[in-house]
Amino acid sequence: MVKKNVLSIVLNNFTNDSRVLKEGLSLKKDDYIVTVVALHESDLLEIEEIQGLPVNRMRLKSRGWPKWKPIQLLKYLEFIFRVMVAYRNKVDIVHCNDLNALPVGVLLKKISKNKLKIVYDAHEYETETNGSKGIEKKLKKGIESFLIRYADQVITVSDSIANEYAKLYAIPKPHLVLNCPHYRKIKKQNIFREQLNIRDDQTIFLYQGGLSKGRGIELILEVFSQFKEDGNVLVCMGYGPLERMIQEKEVNTTTIFFHPAVTPEVLLQYTSSADYGISFIEDACLSYRYCLPNKMFEYLMAGLPVLTSNLFEMKRLVEAYQVGVVAKENTVDGFVAAVKTSLEMDSQQIKANVEKVKKDFCWEKQEKILLGIYKEI
């Protein structure tokens, strides 16, 4: 078989995008020639290899310009132009990560006179994201509706989102490729207790991931701030706009701790140092309502039962496999009740359930689906 050139396009700096990295490495292992194209930022290399995967970060002359929407459009157009110049007629398949990469793939396909194939990988419900509204939302829907017909395969990250796409655009149901970690047997660590001086008799509830609005962080901070006793503590590990808020809570309470984000290579060792994992996403938009966050699978791979908000996909997974507790209400009282319920569970049974489900939700299984999609085109 002639080796196919795959261009994976992502509009971030590609320093912490585990899904794009896993997909690229899986394709490379299957004898595709893969290059990731991303955005350059200061202190990062323009050309490098990450775990043997070539990365080309496009240096934009407009990158330092103000973040005003018309200027952002100019930056985007410059990115498209540079990708066109660098890769026109040089690739066989374009893997478009998220909606903002899809126009680039379609233009490359047009230039190739439709010889090039497109895989559209929607990492969330692209037109129903948190904060998307008004003209911007209508514009995104119009763009996606028009461009998705040029995709030879469509991938998404939850069954509900796949159903919505099929219904909305009258296309075959998109393939489901979950953002799961590689299968690993993780020996339980004690890093948080050692680094943050958390006692052995305290139960650690962990939130890891982006520290931004819409993730339920303010709510869980309020809950742990109210606890009069310190038997149950919260560790927030990650980075984002809410870091300072968490650090201020840490100073003023004995039940809240902050830990900076760690590299993907050691993440699950830290995760395993907790007792429960929290994914309390707010019902702020359809993308959140139908989400299956990668932190859910990270918690499970690290051996943690999970506490989740009452959102459809997370609830379905937790209840189907009996691997945690779903709050009855997405409120402070609902979360407090979920914490109490989690402490009353049969810990041995739930640990056995978590250990079993790890084999179902690992990248090795998702990789087979991804490679099958590529073989179809």
C-alpha distance across the termini of the chain, in Å? 13
Residue 224 lies in a domain: yes
Same domain, 171 and 234: no
Instruction: Report the distance separating Cα 325 and Cα 305, nearest Å.
Output: 8
Confidence of residue 346 (pLDDT cuts 50, 70, 90): confident
Q: Phi first, then psi: what are they for 230, rounded to 5°?
A: -110, 30
Residue 64 lies in a domain: yes
Average pLDDT score over residue span 241-248: 96
State both tokens at 1: 């078989």
Q: Phi first, then psi: what are they for 186, rounded to 5°?
A: -100, 120
Same domain, 281 and 249: yes
Residue-range definition of the domain harbouring residue 271: 191-357
Are 281 and 215 within 8 A, CB to CB? yes
- Asked if residue 331 has pLDDT above 90, the reply is yes
Instruction: Report the distance separating Cα 96 and Cα 102, nearest Å.
Output: 5
Same domain, 290 and 164: no
Are 205 and 275 within 8 A, CB to CB? yes
Same domain, 370 and 313: no
Closest among 249, 272, 114 to 184, alpha carbons compared: 272
Confidence of residue 130 (pLDDT cuts 50, 70, 90): confident
CB atoms within 10 A of CB 337: 15
pLDDT given at position 136: 86
pLDDT given at position 68: 87
User: 63: which DSSP letter?
Assistant: T
Same domain, 89 and 73: yes
State both tokens at 151: 């995709």
State both tokens at 147: 């461009």
For the stretch 174-207, pLDDT in tens is 999 999 999 999 999 999 999 999 999 999 999 9
Same domain, 127 and 263: no
Q: Are strands 175-176 and 153-156 parallel, antiparallel or unpaired?
A: parallel
Are 229 and 254 within 8 A, CB to CB? no
Instruction: Report the distance separating Cα 165 and Cα 170, nearest Å.
Output: 8
Same domain, 170 and 197: no
Same domain, 228 and 322: yes
Same domain, 156 and 53: yes
Q: In what order do the strands lie in the sheet with 276-279?
A: 256-260, 232-239, 203-210, 276-279, 306-308, 324-326
Same domain, 169 and 261: no
CATH of the domain at 303: 3.40.50.2000
Residue 185 lies in a domain: no
- Asked if residue 1 has pLDDT above 80, the reply is no
Residue 186 lies in a domain: no
Residue 58 C-alpha from the chain's centroid: 23
Are 119 and 277 within 8 A, CB to CB? no
Same domain, 137 and 202: no
State both tokens at 73: 């459009």
Same domain, 220 and 125: no
Instruction: Report the distance separating Cα 209 and Cα 190, nearest Å.
Output: 19
For the stretch 56-75, pLDDT in tens is 999 999 988 888 888 999 99
**Counted domains in the chain:** 2
Instruction: Report the distance separating Cα 58 and Cα 44, nearest Å.
Output: 11
pLDDT given at position 195: 96
